[in-house]
Amino acid sequence: MAGLVNSLLIVFIVFQSICLGFRSSLSVFKRYKDTTRSLSSECLGSDRPVISLGLSDFVLDIRMPGVMPKQSDTYLCMSVPLPVDDEAYVVDFKPHASMDTVHHMLVFGCNEPSSTEKYWDCDEGTCKDKSNILYAWARNAPPTRLPKGVGFRVGGETGGRFFVLQVHYGDISAFQDKHKDCSGVTLHLTHQKQPLIAGMYLMMSVNTVIPPGEKVVDADIACHYKRFPMHLFAYRVHTHRLGKIVSGYRVRNGQWTLIGRQSPQLPQAFYPVQQPVDVSYDDILAARCVFSGEGRTTETHIGGTANDEMCNFYIMYYMEAKHAVSYMTCTQNANPEMFKNIPQEANIPIPVKSDMLKMAYGHHEGTKDTDKSSLLQEAKKEEEEILGQGDFYSLLSKLLGEREDVVHVYKHNPTEKAESDLVAEITNVVQKKDLPREITNHDERDNTILVRDRIHKFHRLESTLRPPENRYFSLQQPKHGEGSWENEHTG
């Protein structure tokens, strides 16, 4: 009998040791689980936020904790810590949201979120320190996969230790049934080093004015490229309702090579480039947005509101890690004369089926803005349509300058000082009241007030400007890499 008891005791001790060992193997996720907050019972599938996929890979589920926004155009943020201390790479994203409920979602990476609450109003900011955009979703975009060998680095000594999810709830009529929202993103991470670093090059017009009734208005953007070679693999376009076609090109020795062209009224996902395009030192990156002012009774300016417009061309690229820059921008037209030779296709709209428009704008009718009620209706429709560019409008806002001399940053200057200085200044600008648009001079280089007005609108409607450093964003096709948290640079 004593022998049996001893045997059972030994078995118990061994079993306990195995259990302790198993718990130890999962200890890398302890920090996350210790800070995980209980979610709404309506958030099915969110009870296992971290799942191991083997020795080197795991997935992290980031979801809103069962929220119910109280008014339209609400921006809510929440954060989760990276569940490991050592360096990891985000290599895949899977969204969980519907455009019926969510206008757009953004995922930032940083070291210190703006709040420690379960969730908070994003007007308080996303991060207290520098932040990078890792992902953006809108308009029922499909899951995004980075090219093999490309990833965004997080954790370790240089990567962010927190993820911040920002969700923009546009029209809250979808919440009439009082349901709670658990939208979010699942990240696939790996500890395996990625050989290439992904980045984002944003081209954006900041001073375009669209006269009322004008059939065709071109907004052109161009910058000389002054860095190590980068390889382009995906692009994305964005305007509001007046945009007809957006095209992007590499110009080398007078030869125009198409990066991509698309209707901004189609799903605003990242599309793979048709042919591989590399960009080398002294090439020119050029983009054109074509607008129509038909149906409008007043001038339309660049800005973040529903009745403003936007002209954005985003380029996803990868670079060798030793030369990589995470984020670059172009907000001016360095060579207006060259657009006389732009390919004709840049002004040929892509047909959009009516059912696609219904999906994009909901079941609203009409686009006229002849009175206040119709303006409000149009605002609603356009707010539903605008893609989640808060990420890049924050970034773009940073480029718009310094407190007393906003406009000088439009000049091409690859050696512009670190973006943290720009953000410190721009934060002061956006805190000013929204100024009226009384000046109609189309050259906004001489119109500081108008520029500040644009910045305010970007900040209020399409961005969270608190983070003082660079951000970048990822989404869709060819070769894999290592992400970094370097300063943003102008292109």
- In SS3 terms, the chain reads as CHHHHHHHHHHHHHHHHHHHHHHHHCHHHHHHHHHCCCCCCCCCCCCCCEEECCCCEEEEEEECCCECCCCCCEEEEEEEECCCCCCEEEEEEEEECCCCCCCEEEEEEECCECCCCCCEEHHHCCECCCEEEEEEEECCCCCEECCCEEEEEECCCCCCCEEEEEEEECCHHHHCCCCCECCEEEEEEECCCCCEEEEEEEEECCCCEECCCCCCEEEEEEEECCCCCEEEEEEEEECCCCEEEEEEEEEECCEEEEEEEECCCCCCCCEEEEEEEEECCCCEEEEEEEECCCCCCCCEEECCCCCCECCEEEEEEEEEHHHCCCEEEECCECCHHHHHHCCHHHHCCCCCCHHHHHHHHCCCCCCCCCCHHHHHHHHHHHHHHCCCCHHHHHHHHHHCCCCCCHHHHHCCCCCCCCHHHHHHHHHHHHCCCCCCCCCCCCCHHHCHHHHHHHHHHHHHHHCCCCCCCCCCCECCCCCECCCCCCCCEEC
Is 240 a catalytic site residue? yes
Q: Which of 64, 99, 105, 168 is catalytic?
A: 168
Q: Is residue 224 part of a domain?
A: yes
Q: Is residue 154 part of a domain?
A: yes
Say what the pLDDT of residue 135 is: 81
Q: Is residue 399 part of a domain?
A: yes
Segment among 27-36, 62-71, 282-291 with least mean pLDDT: 27-36
Q: Is there a binding annotation on residue 442? A: no
Is 275 a catalytic site residue? no
Q: Which of 96, 188, 240, 301 is catalytic?
A: 240
Q: Which pTM value belongs to this model?
A: 0.60
Is 489 a catalytic site residue? no
Q: Which of 64, 78, 96, 166 is catalytic?
A: 166
Q: Is there a binding annotation on residue 224? A: no
- Tell me which range, 15-19, 50-54, 389-393, 428-432, is most confidently predicted by mean pLDDT: 50-54
Is 238 a catalytic site residue? yes
Q: Which of 96, 104, 231, 456 is catalytic?
A: 104
* Number of folded domains that form the chain: 1
Say what the pLDDT of residue 148 is: 86
Q: Is there a binding annotation on residue 489? A: no
Q: Which of 188, 231, 238, 459 is catalytic?
A: 238
Q: Is residue 16 part of a domain?
A: no
Q: Is there a binding annotation on residue 103? A: yes
Per-residue model confidence as pLDDT tens digits over 331-344? 999 999 999 999 99
Split at pLDDT 50, 70, 90, the class of 371 is very low
Report the chain's mean pLDDT, rounded to a whole number. 71
Q: Is residue 292 part of a domain?
A: yes
Say what the pLDDT of residue 372 is: 40
Q: Is there a binding annotation on residue 104? A: yes
Segment among 228-237, 255-264, 463-472 with least mean pLDDT: 463-472
Per-residue model confidence as pLDDT tens digits over 146-186? 888 998 888 887 778 999 999 989 888 889 999 999 999 99
Is 168 a catalytic site residue? yes
Q: Is residue 238 part of a domain?
A: yes
Q: Is there a binding annotation on residue 310? A: yes
Q: Which of 78, 96, 99, 103 is catalytic?
A: 103
Q: Is residue 277 part of a domain?
A: yes
Say what the pLDDT of residue 229 is: 96
Q: Is residue 19 part of a domain?
A: no
Per-residue model confidence as pLDDT tens digits over 462-491? 333 333 333 333 333 333 333 333 333 444
Split at pLDDT 50, 70, 90, the class of 355 is low
Is 166 a catalytic site residue? yes
Q: 413 pLDDT exceeds 50?
A: no
What average pLDDT score do residues 297-311 get?
Answer: 87
Per-residue model confidence as pLDDT tens digits over 6-26? 665 555 554 444 444 333 334
Range of the domain at 488: 27-491
